Structure 1
Amino acid sequence: MVVSDDPLFLAAFAESSLQNRILLWPTRLLVFTHLPLTRLQHLHSLLSSTNSMLLIIHDNDRTSRGVSVYVQLPYSSPAAQMLKIATWSAQRSLILTSHSPLFPDKFTKFISAPALTVAIEFISHHQILQIADPDAPGGYRFIFKGAMANIVEYIAQGMNFTFTYVRSQDHSFGSRNTDGSWTGMIGMLVRKEADFATGPFVLTTRRAEAVDFSYYIWIDNIRIVSGRGVPEVDPWGFLLPLAPLVWIAILASMVVLLAVLVGLSEMFLTHMNRRKWKSDAFALVRIILQQDMLVDARRWWWKRVVVGVWMLMTVVLVRSYAGNLMSLLAVRHIPQPFQSLRDVLDDPASVGSGIYHEVAEVENEGRLKFRTHFQFPDSLNNLVRPGGHVLVHVGIGIQNLIAEHFSKMPGSENPRRAT
């Protein structure tokens, strides 16, 4: 609640509230004053953009003392008259003078059907057409097509407003400059050049301090697009058919069996045969390497059991290994070294602290290039495909760029040939 008859104080309060965003959407504001409407024009921006009511007190004499309650409609012109919704007096109490209740929900559906300005920017699977129109500001207007355009039309129909599209001069979503100003669509909102802007915007702390965000449409991840590597044969590919744990299990099993054979030989054989058996125990290695092995007909039964179990295990392992190795050697390996933003920074930049801080630092080294959405298709073809750059973007944007790139490839018009 604000009570004052000082127009300078009310003007300062309104300016501070708008600049510092003191009043949020759920906040209800009452402004009490004796000043007439003609001296309250400076409150237009505050009253029209917040959930506020203006109460003007009339007390010319004790018999006619009362209060008039006014509401400023959203997106109305400064010269537009306020909507009088109620009066109060000691004799007649509260009387509603319109169909609107106190603190009307004026932002759900606009009463006056205002004409709003919507900031747009190019994104994948959307079209922006600029056509001549002598009646539009600047002599031309934009036609926007795509999913975001459908959302704008749906909101306009539900909230009862008309709209025209505008674009920023730098054709970007918006970033903060060193002097505190904003570029792109965020800058247009901050400077009141547009009423709202279409996304999808990446929600950041700095942007949330400058503008109000709607409820999110979807949540997506940041993805990396890099040029495909040259097919190559991995010199260590013979280790790939089996997992590291399998290799460890094979070596452990071999050691255990060798220990069992040596232990049994100590128990059942003489000193002469024991020494011979110790050298013969390494035949287990020959089995797994599929080499020949001398078979002694005088072997004891426990020797035959141990060697037989080992031969059965090696047959399964060798057959599995051979099949997987043949499959790996038949298809050459295509390296994909960039699986995260950390991989990009570590190749070959030095590692510091804070990954996004390091991303900003590599700009000074000439390793970071900013591109607008309109430039992404050209950058994908001329920078990413040769292999010298990677593209970092949200997942839905990456999917759309890949789909558009595939549709422009030779033969993509023939599904059977493209497959």
Structure 2
Amino acid sequence: MEAERGDRDLLEDASGVVSAVLAEVVQPTTSVILLTDGTSSASAIAKVLRRVAAPYGVGVFQAVPENGIGNSTRDRFSEVIRQARKERLMSWNVCVVLVSEDPAFLTTFADVALRGRLLVWATKLLLVTSVALQELRAFLGSRWVFSMMNAVVMVLQMEGLLQKWDMYSHLPYSPAGPQLVSVATWTPAEGLRIKSGHGLFPEKFWNFYGATVNVTALPFPPYWSVLEEPSASSPGRYSGTDFLLLEATAEALNFTFRVVPTETWTEVADRVVERVAFLSPIFHNVLPARLERYEFSFVYEFGSLDFSRAKPDLQPQWQSLYYPLSHAVWLGVLATVVVILRAMRSRDATGHAPPTSPLTLGKALQEVFGLFLGQNLSRVFYSSVRARVLVGAWLVFSLVVGTAYRGNLTASLTLPVYPSRPETLAQLVLVADRITMPSYGAEFKSFFGKSDSPVFKRLSELMHIVSSVEEGQRQAILAK
């Protein structure tokens, strides 16, 4: 049997069934990625290319192992997956055809394709192999790429000289638990026959049949709040918009969820990348650094970054005595004082000639400001009617201005005027000495630092990572 397998070109044998399956699933915007282990001949590849209908073209990749699967082979494999992923990102939808009879090669593909994020759910994976079904059962169930992704395995069964291809899909959730189900068969005589009940590429996540799904989350109000910490006897209680969204999804898809303990936002993402958790339901901003590590599902909410500052303390200042009146009023008061001083020092004001009853500048200032501040009158200087009219006018002026000043001073002390607060990012970076952000802010700091905008660069320089929002606010209050 092994001799017969070595003399046979698996891809050439599979050209008919591959073209039949792709004809069933190809859309007007589909492109195909053909990945082999180097055992497929050029003629077999050409035969497949002629028969496959791929409106957006076919990309052919080979990862040839050398003396087993070592580090050099894994590195070469990683580069092939990286190039294949570029094609996937440039395409509307993709079908990946993987051809190999080597279990070690398939294992390496499963590991490298998972880390390299070759596949998303919209990507259809078609594995062509002749590995025995019993060996495949345990293998498919233990590899995320084959068990959880949109994958179908085509297994060659030789019935004498006749080919028969059986197609299977691993269902991680079903009434009987995880299982490998037969979805279709193909023979040269009968063609493709899809079995009822599942479809060629069955949907794996319409119903979880009561399974428990691991998720990761940390407090992030108003999206996720912890009302009661989980314990050995309780799964914990949560609230928030993202929790309600997850709860509604769990009810619709028939699953329960368990929050995997994490300490930092880095761990929240790491548990998902490591497939310890199925997803993180918390609202995440799309950043280049995050796109290098994991995929996003879909946009369901648009968020913005906001900042808060500690309320500034007002220090006692002599300017507080000046603020109750405007600049124009103070200039008017000064001009009136000058006029009153000149009038008081003249003969007409006092009723006496200066040599007889001299009124010095100091005495005049004392009279003017004394009256302004509500002090007693000095009768000796005001013997004429004109002097008394002048003093009466000054008294009225002092009463009006003084009343207004005292009222405004009381109001300004009761409702102090705080310094204008920054409303935009450009204003914030000009007045702030330090900006804090929780642990997930490290990715924002890196993102802002790589920007060409001087505002974003300055923001990155001012940012400091702290343990939580509350800690950042505490530091802001202490440093105000």
Tell me the TM-score range normalised by the shorter chain.
0.5 to 0.7
* Residue 102 of structure 1 pairs with residue 194 of structure 2: no
Tell me which of 127, 138, 161 is aligned to 1:62. Answer: 161
Are 1:228 and 1:387, in contact at CA under 8 Å, matched by a contact in 2? Answer: no
2: distance between equivalents of 1:360 and 1:24? Answer: 33
Letter in 1 for 2:303: D
Determine whether 1:211 maps to 2:291: no
Question: 180, 185, 191: which is aligned to 1:93?
Answer: 191
Report Cα offsets for 1:182-239 as digits up to 9, x if no partner. x231121122221111212222111122222222332122111112234696969847
What amino acid is the match of 1:345? V
**TM-score normalised over the length of structure 1:** 0.57
The letter of the residue matching 1:14 is: A
Gap runs ≥5 in structure 2: 1-96, 330-403, 435-448
User: Paired residue for 2:342?
Assistant: none
Matched, 1:30 2:164: no
Secondary structure of residue in 2 paired with 1:346: helix
Task: Give, in angstroms, the shift of residue 68 of structure 1.
Answer: 0.8
Deviation at 1:111, TM superposition (A): 5.5
Please report how far the alpha carbon of residue 88 of structure 1 lies from its aligned counterpart in structure 2 after TM superposition.
2.0
Question: Identity over the aligned pairs, expressed in percent?
Answer: 21
1:157 maps to 251
Match of 1:283 in 2: none
Q: Is the 8 A contact 2:156 2:165 kept in 1?
A: yes
**Residue 361 of structure 1 aligns with which residue?**
461
TM-score by length of 2: 0.50
Cα distance in 1 between the residues matched to 2:239 and 2:433: 42
Quickly say closer, same or farther: Cα 1:206–1:128, change in 2 above 3 A.
Answer: farther
The 3-state SS of whatever aligns with 1:72 is: strand
Matched with 1:338 is 422
Q: 1:190 to 1:111 in 2, by over 3 A?
A: closer
Cα gap change, 1:189 to 1:111, in 2 (>3 Å): closer
CA contact (8 A) 1:84 1:98 kept: no
How far off is 1:37 after superposition? 2.4
Task: Write the deviation string for residues 334-386 of structure 1: whole angstroms up to 9, x where unpaired.
Answer: 113433344443347699964444444346xxxx242325xx2x653x33345
- Counterpart of 2:476, as a letter, is V
**Separation of aligned partners in 2, 1:143 and 1:124:** 14
Query: Shift of residue 144 of structure 1?
Result: 1.9
Q: 1:49 is matched with which residue: 148, 159, 168?
A: 148
8 A contact 2:221–2:240 mirrored in 1: no
5+ residue gaps, structure 1: 135-139, 174-182, 242-321, 389-419
C-alpha distance in 1, partners of 2:328/2:236? 56
SS at match of 1:345: helix
* Aligned counterparts of 1:74 and 1:356: Cα–Cα separation in 2: 45
Confirm or deny that 1:81 pairs with 2:179: yes
In structure 1, what is the equivalent of residue 261 of structure 2?
167
The aligned residue for residue 475 of structure 2 is: 383
Shift of 1:55: 0.6
The one-letter code sitting in structure 1 at the alignment partner of 2:245 is: I
Aligned equivalents of 2:301 and 2:325: distance in 1?
41
CA contact (8 A) 2:314 2:418 kept: yes
Q: Quick check: 1:54–1:70 contact (8 Å CA) kept in 2?
A: yes
Contact kept? 2:173, 2:204, Cα under 8 Å: no
Q: For residues 371 and 131 of structure 1, do their structure 2 counterparts lie closer, same or farther at Cα, with a shift above 3 Å needed?
A: closer
Q: SS at 1:86's partner residue?
A: strand
Task: Kindly indicate whether residue 103 of structure 2 is the aligned counterpart of residue 7 of structure 1.
Answer: yes
- Structure 1 counterpart of 2:104, which letter? L
Deviation, structure 1 residue 112: 4.5
Select 2:221's aligned residue among 117, 124, 128.
Answer: 124
- For 2:216 and 2:433, how far apart are their aligned partners in 1? 38
2:376 maps to none
**Equivalents in 2 of 1:236, 1:2: separation in Å?**
81
Matches within 5 A, 1:265-414: 332-347=416-431, 354-362=454-462, 368-373=464-469, 376=470, 379-380=472-473, 382-386=474-478, 388=480
Task: Assess, with a 3 A threshold, how the Cα gap between structure 1 residues 217 and 384 changes in structure 2: closer, same or farther.
Answer: farther
CA shift in 2, pair 1:17/1:152, >3 Å? same
Q: Which has the larger radius of gyration?
A: 2
Structure 2 counterpart of 1:338, one-letter code: P
Question: Secondary structure at the residue paired with 1:83?
Answer: strand
> Using the alignment, how far apart are the partners of 1:163 and 1:29 within structure 2?
28
- CA distance in 2 between counterparts of 1:58 and 1:14 reads 23
Q: Which residue of 2 aligns with 1:186?
A: 269
Which residue of 100, 112, 119 maps to 1:16? 112
CA change 1:338–1:165 in 2 (3 A) is same
CA distance in 2, matches of 1:240, 1:51: 77
Deviation at 1:387, TM superposition (A): 5.7
Deviation at 1:104, TM superposition (A): 2.1
Secondary structure of 2:296's aligned partner: coil
Counterparts of 2:323 and 2:467, CA distance in 1: 38
**2-structure distance, mates of 1:379, 1:347:** 17
Q: By how many angstroms is 1:83 displaced?
A: 1.4
Cα 1:75–1:90 change in 2 (3 A) is same
RMSD, aligned α-carbons: 3.7
Query: Any idea what SS the aligned residue of 1:199 has?
Result: coil
Spell out, residue by residue over 1:14-62, the C-alpha distance to the aligned partner (whole angstroms, 9 max, x if none): 2221111112222112111111123334443211232111111111412
Tell whether the 8 Å contact from 2:171 to 2:179 is kept in structure 1 after alignment. Answer: no
1:132 aligned counterpart, secondary structure: coil
- Secondary structure of the residue aligned to 2:153 is strand
Contact 1:225 1:384 in 2 (8 A): no
Sort the Cα spacing of 1:38 and 1:153 in 2 relative to 1 into closer, same or farther, 3 A. Answer: same
Secondary structure of 2:184 counterpart: strand
Is the CA contact (8 Å cut-off) linking 1:74 and 1:110 kept in structure 2? Answer: no
What is the identity, as a one-letter code, of the residue corresponding to 1:57?
L
RCO higher in structure (CA 8 A, sep ≥6)? 1
- The residue type equivalent to 1:13 in the other structure is F
CA distance in 1, matches of 2:133, 2:327: 85
**CA pair 28-11 structure 1, distance change in 2 beyond 3 A:** same
Alignment check: 8 A CA contact 1:117 1:164 kept: yes
Corresponding residue SS for 2:275? coil
Deviations 1:89-115 (A, max 9, x none): 2344333334111112333x0365432
